[in-house]
Amino acid sequence: MCNSRLETETLDAGGHCVLEMPSGTGKTVSLLSLIIAYQQYYPEHRKLIYCSRTMSEIEKALAELKALMRYREDQLGRTEEFRGLGLTSRKNLCLHPSVKREKSGAVVDARCRSLTAGFVKEKKERGEDVPVCIYHDNLDLLEPHNLIPNGVWTLDGIMRYGEEHKQCPYFTSRRMMSFCNVIIYSYHYLLDPKIAERVSKELSKDCIVVFDEAHNIDNVCIESLSTDITEDSLRKATRGAQNLENRISEMKDTDADKLKNEYAKLVEGLRGADEAREEDAFMSNPALPDDLLKEAVPGNIRRAEHFVAFLKRFVEYLKTRMKVRQVISETPPSFLAHLKEHTYIEKKPLRFCAERLTSLVRTLELTSIEDYQPLQEVATFATLVATYEKGFLLILEPYESDAAEVPNPVLHFTCLDAAIAIKPVFDRFSSVIITSGTISPLEMYPKMLGFTTVVQESYSMSLGRRSFLPIIVTRGSDQVPVSSGFQVRNEPSVVRNYGNLLTEFSKLTPDGMVVFFPSYLYMESIISMWQGMGILDEVWKYKLILVETPDAQETSLALETYRTACCNGRGAVLLCVARGKVSEGIDFDHQYGRTVLCIGVPFQYTESRILKARLEFLRETYRIRENDFLSFDAMRHAAQCLGRVLRGKDDYGIMVLADKRFLKKRTQLPKWINQAILDSEINLSTDMAVGSAKKFLRNMAQPFKQSDQEGVSTWSLKDLEKFKESQDEENIRALREAQMQGSEVQNGNGERGDEYDVEAEAEMMQLDH
């Protein structure tokens, strides 16, 4: 509740904030309700862009929004003019009878485009017989700003509406984005420059942006600007260039005017976007800096055939580079120097590469875009490498691993600076809220993402009872320290102690139990050792054992079995990886997870060259020490794993951190977890841990009535009013004190007291609404 004041500050003053709120305690709904109240209270109705990570989270947020709007309607007694929409990929929203049956998202995208592109419609109007999508074309018959009635539309809901009215849900959402109050979508739509350019550029400046589940946002930013180029993709790129060449010569024979038109446009300057950008209508794109738009395309890639030759040369150059059999890491300037030496490709045309390709593809009216995907990737790579001197690194790895014999070269073009991708968002929108259940330490994020915050706050949890038990186990029952450090991780004593821990907890935990390992590799080795020691047989007596694998389908099958076993009383243990799919976004509420066991500190694989480069960059640029970053990253993943079991106030669970290194890293856990760790429970051996866990479970088994929670963790209106009163009193007291002090010290200070008055009044007003 008290976050309201903080947040209104953010919204009013126009600033960015980082909030940490315990997971599963209604973070989404409290944020939504507050922002919507704010939005509806002020006449300008600032739009809310709510970004989440996965499809299921988007769906959840939409459902919450829907419930919230119903509640508001009940309370206010009128229906507000309000529209909330979610957006996801075409694959999830397609209604076209044949297209929707495609499995791969890329294919759906491509097929949809071939049915809905602008030139297809033109052809149709000219009377040619081309296949079109009836769902899409029906949209043109409707009023462009009123494609769908007011209300909150969940993804399912919009699909149903689309089916009834024969209109495309995907395009309905996309076109209505400028006309609705709330948009909920994945943060790729805002961060990935390739998508953001198309989807999000029309959002107005005063939007309120919320990044939910944003503890990984820096990695998302980095991934969105990084590319990996393989020999295979280069081969495909060459083929794409060849196709382009053929198409150009075809077009020259049939429709030379179009090429000429394009040429004329390029002589003028890059697209008409220049003016629009000046008027600040579009969000800037990190892959297409502003000054680029103001310039005309360089003369040597203006003509289509010149450009294709240019691309071919670049691709050939990359192919030659890939033949090298040693690891190379170089900065963009040195890459460019080498490129220029061997191919006479200058930096400037390279910067225009991506835009030029897009324009060419548009002119040629290509429908099978997916064939040109690799070429597009290469072009984006070219643009980025020529645009940024700092913050990027090229790493060529000829072999997959150190032991590999057969070369499989990959050219990683890695972004090292998370701030580049998110910068346009911070520049454009005045209020950006970054929030997650586990986003500690808070000051790390502004540092890494390059912004300043108005509010940084970590909220703790108010609970009716102690409903989760975080403990740190540092030793086995035989007092041998346990750790997943490289030196000791495969020692039989450590492995046995971990095994014992698992057996003990599988004995005492009711229903489901989740175990997290630092990596797949370690999980495999430890499981095989456990098998040899007979530990798995022991666990088997009490619970089913299920394992997460890198394969998504296998994992989802395992999850399904796990849930069944948890529901029917057999109980199960799910062994998974701290950076895998399970650790992010899959909830183990209630019986699905009563214990989470975190075996070892989930550090990243530190031998990775990309990680090394990034650490170096962070140290050089942002003064973040290597160890600080590694430990921060490990702890946020650990916290994320722990947060999986507690998904609400009536939920309970045990959180076991099993590594001696957790002792020192305890402070890096989120505030709400760290506060709940008792000093007597931080340096336990297995038997002690079992003891306190048993006691905890016995407590939890006591009947827990709704009324016990009231006034503590759930507040009625009366409690709220009481709280407000006490807050007001507090304010008044503070005010009086300030005044007393003011009059004591000097008369001149009295003015300061007045200022306080104004502020306090404003605060109270904010509390009121």
The residues of the shown chain that bind another protein, judged by CB under 8 A, are 235, 238-239, 242, 267, 289, 291, 295-300, 302-303, 305-306, 309, 312-313, 316-317, 319-320, 323, 331, 333-334, 337, 342-344, 347-348, 351, 386-391, 417, 419-420, 423, 619-623
**Least Å from the CB of residue 383 to another protein:** 11
**Least Å from the CB of residue 366 to another protein:** 19
**Least Å from the CB of residue 660 to another protein:** 21
Strands (E), 416-467: 431-436, 453-458
Residue 297 is given by DSSP the state: P
Nearer to another protein, 49 or 234 (CB): 234
State the virtual CA torsion across 317, 321, 322, 323 in degrees, nearest 10: 110
**Least Å from the CB of residue 246 to another protein:** 12
Nearer to another protein, 165 or 312 (CB): 312
Residue whose entry in the numeric block shows the structure tokens 């024969």: 166
**Least Å from the CB of residue 195 to another protein:** 22
Nearer to another protein, 428 or 594 (CB): 428
Residue whose entry in the numeric block shows the structure tokens 């315990």: 22
How far apart CA 350 and CA 336 sit, in angstroms, is 10
Nearer to another protein, 239 or 271 (CB): 239
Nearer to another protein, 175 or 239 (CB): 239
Nearer to another protein, 418 or 582 (CB): 418
- Which amino acid makes up residue 744? E
**Least Å from the CB of residue 451 to another protein:** 13
Nearer to another protein, 300 or 692 (CB): 300
Nearer to another protein, 240 or 602 (CB): 240
Nearer to another protein, 313 or 563 (CB): 313
**Least Å from the CB of residue 299 to another protein:** 3
Q: Are strands 653-658 and 684-685 parallel, antiparallel or unpaired?
A: unpaired
**Least Å from the CB of residue 361 to another protein:** 20
Question: Per the omega criterion (within 30 degrees of 0), is the bond before 441 cis?
Answer: yes
Nearer to another protein, 244 or 658 (CB): 244
Nearer to another protein, 121 or 390 (CB): 390
* CB proximity list for 387: less than 8 A, separation 6 or greater: 287, 289, 292, 351
**Least Å from the CB of residue 668 to another protein:** 17
Nearer to another protein, 81 or 341 (CB): 341
Helices marked H in 581-670 — which ranges? 609-617, 626-643, 662-665
SS3 state at 285: strand
**Least Å from the CB of residue 138 to another protein:** 43
Token pair listed for 593: 């997870």
Nearer to another protein, 352 or 696 (CB): 352
Nearer to another protein, 146 or 242 (CB): 242
**Least Å from the CB of residue 619 to another protein:** 7
**Least Å from the CB of residue 225 to another protein:** 13
> 172-186 burial by CB neighbour count: b if 16+ within 10 A, else e?
bbbbbbeebbbbbbb
How far apart CA 160 and CA 151 sit, in angstroms, is 14
* CB proximity list for 312: less than 8 A, separation 6 or greater: 238, 241
**Least Å from the CB of residue 422 to another protein:** 12
- Which among 493, 450, 509 has a CA at the least distance from the CA of 652? 509
In DSSP terms, which residues pair with 91 in a beta bridge? none
Token pair listed for 708: 């016990």
How far apart CA 617 and CA 450 sit, in angstroms, is 14
Are 245 and 427 in contact by the 8 Å Cβ rule? The answer is no
Nearer to another protein, 371 or 719 (CB): 371
- DSSP per residue, 690-729: HHHHHHHHHHHTS---HHHHBTTTB--HHHHHHHHHHHHH
Residue whose entry in the numeric block shows the structure tokens 């502004």: 446
SS3 state at 432: strand
CA atoms within 13 A on the CB side of 191: 29
- Which among 373, 354, 356 has a CA at the least distance from the CA of 364? 356
- Which among 739, 763, 737 has a CA at the least distance from the CA of 751? 739
SS3 state at 428: helix
Neighbours of 211 (CB within 10 A): 25
Token pair listed for 309: 């030759």
Token pair listed for 143: 């009023």
Residue whose entry in the numeric block shows the structure tokens 């694998």: 549
**Least Å from the CB of residue 454 to another protein:** 21
**Least Å from the CB of residue 214 to another protein:** 22
Nearer to another protein, 320 or 528 (CB): 320
**Least Å from the CB of residue 377 to another protein:** 18
- Which amino acid makes up residue 352? F
How far apart CA 231 and CA 322 sit, in angstroms, is 7
- Which among 439, 441, 446, 378 has a CA at the least distance from the CA of 418? 446
Are 451 and 470 in contact by the 8 Å Cβ rule? The answer is no
Token pair listed for 63: 């459902």
**Least Å from the CB of residue 282 to another protein:** 18
Nearer to another protein, 268 or 761 (CB): 268
- Which amino acid makes up residue 247? R
> 418-442 burial by CB neighbour count: b if 16+ within 10 A, else e?
bbbbbbbbbebbbbbbbbbbbbbbb
Nearer to another protein, 609 or 619 (CB): 619
* CB proximity list for 7: less than 8 A, separation 6 or greater: 17, 19, 31, 34, 35, 433, 455
**Least Å from the CB of residue 56 to another protein:** 36
- DSSP per residue, 531-546: HHHTHHHHHHHHSEEE
